[in-house]
Structure 1
Amino acid sequence: MTDHGHNHKHASHKTLTKADAEKALNLVLDSVISAIKSHHNINITGFGSFEIHHRKAREGRNPKTGAKMKIDAYNQPTFRAGRKMKEACN
């Protein structure tokens, strides 16, 4: 489900308008992105946690040619589902 679809669904079941639901979702997403950019971990109890994992530079291969190539170090954002999220999925 896209953000648009989620906002519409939430707005139709609650007292929030579609615009208010979209603003609320955008506020949460902007907060998570801002914290991740600052290298802070975010934990939303029951939902899950967002973390940054640093990946070291390494040597890889081009899958088409097989030539060796250098893969630079980078920060990988990760999400780990919380208990309520896991239970809802199973």
Structure 2
Amino acid sequence: MAGNGTLTRADLADSLNRQIGLSRAESASMVESILDMMSVALEKGENVKISSFGTFVLRDKTERVGRNPKTGIEVPIAPRRVLTFRASQSMRDRIARS
């Protein structure tokens, strides 16, 4: 993992390279392929579940009224689709132990 505390695509590819022995190009290609499959599924409106890790869930939010915090003026917030992540119970347990 990079020194900044963020796991990147390059870190994932490097891990595949070291642990499985794939070439750097093969490792990077595999990471990209997995992320592309996840992105396509989400674009189609499907949820993405990874056992023992969590689920990426799409939610449709309806239009609602918000308020500008500086002026207090009410502003309509357009309906939109948002992506959320729900960690699995085993992932939550792992995080709680660390």
Q: Same fold (TM over 0.5)?
A: yes
Deviation at 1:70, TM superposition (A): 0.6
Query: Is this contact kept in 1: 2:12–2:31, CA < 8 A?
Result: no
Calculate percent identity across the aligned residue pairs: 28
Equivalence for 2:58: 52
Structure 1 residue identity aligned to 2:81: N
**Unpaired segments ≥5 residues, structure 1:** none
Structure 1 residues 79 and 10: CA distance shift in structure 2, 3 A: same
Q: Deviations over 1:66-90 (max 9, x none)?
A: 2211100111111111244334323
Residues 55-66 of structure 1: matches in 2 within 5 Å?
55-66=61-72
Please give the alpha-carbon distance, in whole angstroms, between the structure 1 residues aligned to 2:27 and 2:93: 25
Number of aligned residues? 90
**Unpaired segments ≥5 residues, structure 2:** 1-6
RMSD between superposed Cα atoms in Å: 1.7
Query: Which gives a bigger RCO, structure 1 or 2 (Cα 8 Å, sep 6+)?
Result: 1
Correspondent of 1:13 among 14, 19, 23: 19
Equivalence for 1:29: 35
TM-score by length of structure 1 reads: 0.83
